[in-house]
Structure 1
Amino acid sequence: MTKKRKHQEDFQKVKLKVGKKKPKLENATDTTFKTKTIQIPEQLKEDGMLTAQNRKLNIKDLLSQMHHYSPSVKQNALLGLKDLLSQYPFLIDAHLSSIISEVAAVFTDKDSGVRGAAVHLLQFLASKIRAEQIAPFFPLVSAHLSSAMTHISEGIQEDSLKVLDVLLESYPALLTDRSSILLKNFVELISHQQLSKRLKSRDKLSWMLSVNPNRRVTSQQWRLNVLTRLKRFLQAVVDGSNETEDEGLQEQKDSPHSLRNPIFISWKVHANNQQHIHLYENGGLRPKMNSSFRLRSLASVMDSAEKGLSSAENLKGFIEIIIPLLIECWIEASPAQSAPILGNLLESDCQQLMQQVLSIIHLLWKLTKRHDETCKMELWLRMNYLVDFKHHFMRNFPYSLQETVKHKKKDSCKGNKYCMASSNSVDHLLLNLTLCDIMVSLASASTLQADSGWLDMIRKFVTDTLQDGSRLNSKQVNRLLGVTWRLMQIQQNK
């Protein structure tokens, strides 16, 4: 067979007989398959429930839209997320990490509508999430809050205070754990570092109040907003320190061989409910533990920067920064120097700012008394700030309100010229008593003669308040008793 014929046989078509099927190739693929239907009604029903009613989007779709470039899409996603979570609260626990991270990321969004929707969603979530649940994710929330407070945009800074309000209301203990960072942010919101020759000599940096004409509110109103939040933050720090002092084992100063009084029980008398058994000494308040050891708290392990205001060094550093700024705010809000000394009239906005200034100083004074070296701290405060306080605070003392008294509230403050009710609910009697409490804490028996000038003014004001006979609320009574006790203590130790 020639080569030409072999080549033709390779390409020659095989003729099949009629009625016979074509034989399968050796490398043929079987494409047949069988199908069966599987019905899961519960799964299909649950998938339908997890969608928002307005646009039929589930939680994953809404969270993915948080990264969209359009502000309207992100705002609608936040509104839809709030609607979805309000209908199905069990989704919060299942997607808590994603929800917290996405909501916190839009604290610094450029659009004000998106930030407002994020604040409303955060307020809704705060009512549903416990502090134990959000604690692992709170460092992320705090980082985004700090970024918003120090942002270059004025609108983002203003909205960061709204976020701070929600966190202070729901998670004060978690927020105060990061006081070292947040306190610096408070200072930067109302001031800036002063460029002077001190920077070259590497001394402590000085701060001065800043004025930004681009804000929607005045500089004084902005400082009032910031100082109001700072006062609430410091109040949370003080309340948190009160709780930690009552926890854990405390070192006992009593000797281990102290006498114990035996208890004699008459079972007949006890059966007739005529005698009670005291389980502990001291009236059953707390058991005494005869041990010279105590548990070491986590605060002793942390660095001084992480301790926040619980460290005496950090507290002194913050006082050195904030007190000069508070004095500048007081000078701007205080009445003119040409005004009469007694009963200086104040406008409502100015008095609100002055009240916040004194409240912050009063809380800082409380924190100084929590440290072991209280006497040294009081001496340090007197040496650094007594002259400025006498010059600015006591010059126009006492202060009263410029507004007229309403007739409906006239009877409640009858006869008290320092207790005038106003429509803005500013208590200037509490302002005067807070000022008295701050000043008398700087006085002592050894300096009684040197401080006789301004102490006589405080004694006269306290005496007039006690003899006036007007009704006082709980805060006023507490502050008045504190000032009276301090004055009696100074006079007694003379």
Structure 2
Amino acid sequence: MGKSAQQKKKKRADDFKKVKLKVGKKKPRAQNETNASVKTQSIAIPEQLKAHGTEPTTRRKVGFSTLLSQLQHYNSTVRLGALKGIQELLNQHPELLKQNLGSLLGETSALLIDADSLVRHQAVSLLRELATRPAPTCFVPFFPIVMARLSIAMTHLDDAVRLDSLDALDILLETFPHLSNVETLLCHFMELISNRGSEVRGEKQRRLLVNPSGKMTSQQWRVKVLLRLSRFLHTILGSEEEGGAFQLDSLDVGSNVETQNALHVEWKSLCKGDQEVELFEHAGSRPSLATIFRDLGGLESLKYFVGCLIPLLLECWVEASSTEKKSSPEDLLIMKEVAESVLHLWRLAQRGIGIHSVVSYCYILATVSQTFIDWWCALLFRSVAVLTWLSGLPNQLLQLKARCPSLSALMLAAVELGLSRNEQHLLHNLDNLSHCIYDPSQGLFIALQGHIDCQWSLCRMIYRLPLLSEKLLSSFAHCCLQGPLAPGLAVSIIWIHSSSPDPHTSHWTATCACFITNYPLSLLSL
């Protein structure tokens, strides 16, 4: 019995003892192991390799529907490749554009707010092709979708997305100027260059936007935004002047109303495919839309936008025309765009005031007096901001000279208007800088020699000066001797000398002799 117990105990110990294998030996398989391997063999059928559809593909053998679905892919590289593939297919197969215009516009405009800059730029490039290829009438039903996506991009939190949205706006302004949502876009423009005042502090006016952490400076940002704003306002004025809106005189009352704007269809051309019939509401080469896409919402809405934009534009001008630093090319561009934007707003206000005056003529005639209008205009003109802006124009003219004649002409017109109002600060500043403006060597008068209108404006300003010194008269004489002037301009300068206290000077004797030699016919006509 003792020997049997020892054997059982040793057997139990062997069950839990780890088997040590020799080098090169493998562990033996268990007796209850199940073999789960499966043997397969491929069968090649030639019919499977044939394409069942006629869908065009790119050089990478990707179809249009696949590319359209890849525009929503989570990977930015796949989205970028899908945009390039769609452009490739549209170049090779233009018929795809008309069949899938709605889906293409929806998916492409959604990528305007993509996180990847390369995808956004490629989406703008594709949007340009989509906007320029089809007829304008095909784009009309999908324009609200594009405008909604553009509004999201213009109000995005990322500065780069907002900046790229301006490129998409350029495409719509160039291609579809009559479909611009004026009221919405003006709100977005104000958000791009300004911030709302704090409601807690009771600030109602907007303040210029400053972003120190941005990749570009505030001046560069404002140049891009103000350039689009000026172009946008110019587009509004151009669409109104071209007669895009409904005109009463274009309606022939004597004719039958049912036959007006009738569509004449030639059935032979229609059957051959040479003529297309558009059955939508705005069929035609130039759709005329009486909707919110072109209306400012009345005089009150225009008054609100002008009241918000003018202070911001004046702040941009004052910041760019600071006398503490020399004006850079960006500052001059800002002042140019501000001047053009104010001019466009003034024309829009004149148009709105004219329409409002016709509608409410009896009310204006009964309640508003001419005395009140004169007092209001004088009070507006003598505001502190306008006076500060006007008094700095002579300095800006000396810095600008002939680099931008159109901007110089606008500034000279503003100076003449201020002098006609007898603004003392402007007159004092002009008197102090008169020797620099009419300097015969590097003055503004000589620099604008090829621009007769600007020189005439400078000549008319001489009559506003309180006193003509001998040095200034000598500068006039050298200006006449420096180069050829227009006969009428030289005659005006001689008349200024003749009305001066001491007209008999050596400089003016030489000037008159030179003028008689060069312009004998003009003197005979005096």
Fold-level match, TM-score > 0.5?
yes
What's the CA shift for 1:366? 1.1
What's the CA shift for 1:122? 1.1
* Residues in 1 aligned to 2:306 and 2:188: alpha-carbon distance in whole angstroms: 15
Distance change in 2, residues 1:449/1:83 (3 Å)? closer
What's the CA shift for 1:314? 1.5
1:334 equivalenced with 2:304 (yes/no): no
2:410 to 434, 447, 467: 434
1:395 equivalenced with 2:398 (yes/no): no
Query: How do 1:374-389 and structure 2 match up within 5 A?
Result: 383-384=379-380, 386-387=382-383, 388-389=385-386
2:401 partner letter? Y
1:470 equivalenced with 2:449 (yes/no): yes
Q: Is the 8 A contact 1:65 1:74 kept in 2?
A: yes
What's the CA shift for 1:437? 4.2
2:196 partner letter? Q
Q: Is the 8 A contact 1:398 1:432 kept in 2?
A: no
What's the CA shift for 1:361? 0.7
Distance change in 2, residues 1:80/1:369 (3 Å)? same
Aligned to 2:182: 179
What's the CA shift for 1:453? 6.8
Aligned to 2:54: 47
Distance change in 2, residues 1:245/1:73 (3 Å)? closer
2:332 to 351, 357, 380: 351
* Residues in 2 aligned to 1:97 and 1:317: alpha-carbon distance in whole angstroms: 35
**Alignment length, in residue pairs?**
352
Gaps of 5+ in 1: 1-37, 253-296, 340-344, 403-416, 422-426, 488-494
* Residues in 2 aligned to 1:139 and 1:349: alpha-carbon distance in whole angstroms: 35
- SS of match in other structure, 2:90: helix
1:65 equivalenced with 2:66 (yes/no): no
Q: Is the 8 A contact 2:197 2:206 kept in 1?
A: yes
* Residues in 2 aligned to 1:298 and 1:442: alpha-carbon distance in whole angstroms: 41
* Residues in 2 aligned to 1:378 and 1:99: alpha-carbon distance in whole angstroms: 56
Aligned to 2:206: 207
Distance change in 2, residues 1:127/1:458 (3 Å)? farther
Q: Is the 8 A contact 2:397 2:411 kept in 1?
A: no
1:191 to 177, 182, 194: 194
Q: Could you list the per-position Cα deviations for residues 337-382 of structure 1 after superposition, in whole angstroms to 9, with x for gaps in the alignment? A: 6x9xxxxx63212111111111111111111111325799998676
1:392 partner letter? W
- SS of match in other structure, 1:346: coil
Q: Is the 8 A contact 2:189 2:225 kept in 1?
A: yes
The structure where helix makes up a greater share of residues is 2
Aligned to 2:284: none
Query: Which has the higher mean CA deviation after the structures are superposed, 210-219 or 97-106?
Result: 210-219
Query: How do 1:142-153 and structure 2 match up within 5 A?
Result: 142-153=147-158
2:187 partner letter? K
What's the CA shift for 1:383? 4.0
Q: Could you list the per-position Cα deviations for residues 270-295 of structure 1 after superposition, in whole angstroms to 9, with x for gaps in the alignment? A: xxxxxxxxxxxxxxxxxxxxxxxxxx
What's the CA shift for 1:58? 1.6
1:323 equivalenced with 2:307 (yes/no): no
1:71 partner letter? S
* Residues in 1 aligned to 2:129 and 2:82: alpha-carbon distance in whole angstroms: 15
Q: Is the 8 A contact 1:440 1:455 kept in 2?
A: no
Aligned to 1:125: 130
1:391 partner letter? T
Q: Could you list the per-position Cα deviations for residues 166-203 of structure 1 after superposition, in whole angstroms to 9, with x for gaps in the alignment? A: 2222112212xx1111111011111111115674xxxx
Aligned to 1:11: none
Structure having the higher Rg: 2
Q: Is the 8 A contact 2:70 2:79 kept in 1?
A: yes
Gaps of 5+ in 2: 1-46, 252-287, 358-369, 465-526
What's the CA shift for 1:458? 9.2
Aligned to 1:156: 161
* Residues in 2 aligned to 1:90 and 1:336: alpha-carbon distance in whole angstroms: 59
- SS of match in other structure, 2:207: strand
1:312 equivalenced with 2:309 (yes/no): no
Distance change in 2, residues 1:69/1:321 (3 Å)? same
What's the CA shift for 1:438? 5.2
* Residues in 1 aligned to 2:373 and 2:341: alpha-carbon distance in whole angstroms: 17
Q: Is the 8 A contact 1:198 1:205 kept in 2?
A: no
Distance change in 2, residues 1:458/1:118 (3 Å)? farther
Distance change in 2, residues 1:314/1:377 (3 Å)? farther
* Residues in 1 aligned to 2:374 and 2:147: alpha-carbon distance in whole angstroms: 33
Distance change in 2, residues 1:450/1:245 (3 Å)? farther
* Residues in 2 aligned to 1:238 and 1:130: alpha-carbon distance in whole angstroms: 23
Q: Could you list the per-position Cα deviations for residues 76-119 of structure 1 after superposition, in whole angstroms to 9, with x for gaps in the alignment? A: 00000001101111110011111111101111111111111101
1:59 partner letter? F
Distance change in 2, residues 1:317/1:51 (3 Å)? same
CA RMSD across the alignment: 4.1
Q: Is the 8 A contact 1:168 1:233 kept in 2?
A: yes
Distance change in 2, residues 1:381/1:198 (3 Å)? farther
Q: Is the 8 A contact 2:179 2:294 kept in 1?
A: no
What's the CA shift for 1:130? 2.7
Q: Is the 8 A contact 1:358 1:434 kept in 2?
A: yes
